[in-house]
């Protein structure tokens, strides 16, 4: 099948801007709870785009854009991977669900999905198809392990497959505007704080 779904073509422009973000969509939590879990201190959020965040990030901190679309919270880390840390995913999904994807310059993209405080799927180097951690997990629809229609051309980057998968699971497609429009951006400690801690435990 030819590439018919071009809504995610913006993905191919990320490399030109040196943007390799972690994007998440969250259900069942509110802004204050997300901010608490991420470890936001007393600093007020600052409105900036992902590209502006990339220019302003400093050592030992990460900048996470926080927004809302169709009743769901989303986050964009221009650089960093706090929303890919298993412990963070467990905490943020405690009363609902959270899915996130991380992109890298080498094309090694990762996918993460948690429900009610438990990891359901976690793949560091996600292929075109993604599977649950536990075969037969009822929280994972087997359809999600198939390449979505419209992005199943061999020339389509795996990152586009993952963006389409986020839409399948959460009913909300990540948008280019999430990176180009100013979001309330939080300054949080770097995700290196979780290294060698139970936060990185994966079942």
> pLDDT, tens digit, for every residue of 172-202?
999 999 999 999 999 998 888 999 899 999 9
In-domain check, residue 52:
yes
Q: Output the six-digit token pair for 38.
A: 């991420």
Domain count for the chain = 1
pTM (predicted TM-score): 0.92
Q: How many CB atoms lie within 10 A of CB 56?
A: 14
Are 150 and 171 within 8 A, CB to CB? no
Q: How confident is the model at residue 154, as a pLDDT?
A: 59
In-domain check, residue 198:
no
Q: How confident is the model at residue 132, as a pLDDT?
A: 97
> pLDDT, tens digit, for every residue of 55-86?
988 878 889 999 999 999 999 998 889 999 99
In-domain check, residue 1:
no
Write phi, then psi, for 37 (nearest 5 degrees). Answer: -65, -35
Q: What is the CA 102 to chain-centroid distance, rounded? A: 6
Check whether 51 has a pLDDT greater than 60: yes
Closest C-alpha among 82, 51, 88 to residue 188: 82
Q: How confident is the model at residue 2, as a pLDDT?
A: 41
* Distance of alpha carbon 134 from alpha carbon 148, whole angstroms: 21
Q: Provide, rounded to the nearest whole percent, the portion of the chain with pLDDT above 70.
A: 92
Q: Considering the chain, what is the average pLDDT of its residues?
A: 90
In-domain check, residue 3:
no
Are 184 and 35 within 8 A, CB to CB? no
Residue with the bigger pLDDT between 6 and 89: it is 89
Q: What is the CA 176 to chain-centroid distance, rounded? A: 14
Are 46 and 162 within 8 A, CB to CB? no
In-domain check, residue 139:
yes
In-domain check, residue 67:
yes
Buried b (16+ CB within 10 A) or exposed e, 67-81: beeeebbbbbbbebb
Are 165 and 148 within 8 A, CB to CB? yes
Closest C-alpha among 143, 104, 98 to residue 125: 104
In-domain check, residue 100:
yes
Check whether 1 has a pLDDT greater than 70: no
Q: How confident is the model at residue 43, as a pLDDT?
A: 73
Q: How confident is the model at residue 108, as a pLDDT?
A: 85
Q: How confident is the model at residue 72, as a pLDDT?
A: 98
Domain hosting residue 78, numbered range: 9-193
Check whether 161 has a pLDDT greater than 60: yes
Q: Output the six-digit token pair for 162.
A: 């993952």
Tell me the mean pLDDT in the region 98-117.
94
In-domain check, residue 136:
yes
> pLDDT, tens digit, for every residue of 3-35?
556 888 899 888 888 899 999 999 999 999 999
Q: How confident is the model at residue 203, as a pLDDT?
A: 79
- Residue pointed to by tokens 């071009």: 6
Provide CB contacts within 8 A for 165, sequence distance 6+.
101, 111, 130, 144, 148
Q: What would you measure as the largest C-alpha separation in the chain, in angstroms?
A: 51
């Amino acid at each position: 099948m030819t590439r018919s779904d071009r809504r995610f073509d913006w993905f191919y422009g990320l490399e030109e801007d040196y943007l390799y973000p972690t994007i998440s969509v969250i259900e069942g939590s509110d802004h204050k709870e997300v901010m608490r879990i991420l470890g936001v201190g007393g600093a007020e959020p600052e409105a900036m785009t992902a590209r502006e965040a990339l220019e302003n990030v400093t050592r030992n901190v990460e900048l996470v854009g926080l927004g809302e679309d169709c009743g769901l919270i989303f986050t964009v880390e221009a650089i960093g991977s706090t929303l890919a840390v298993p412990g963070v995913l467990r905490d943020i999904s405690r009363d609902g669900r959270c899915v996130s994807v991380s992109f890298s310059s080498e094309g090694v993209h990762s996918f993460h999905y948690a429900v009610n405080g438990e990891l359901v799927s976690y793949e560091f180097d996600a292929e075109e198809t993604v599977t649950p951690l536990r075969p037969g997990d009822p929280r994972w629809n087997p359809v999600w392990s198939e390449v979505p229609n419209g992005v199943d051309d061999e020339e389509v980057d795996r990152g586009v497959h993952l963006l389409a998968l986020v839409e399948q699971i959460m009913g909300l497609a990540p948008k280019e505007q999430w990176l180009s429009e100013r979001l309330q951006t939080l300054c949080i400690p770097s995700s290196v704080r979780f290294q060698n801690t139970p936060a990185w435990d994966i079942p």
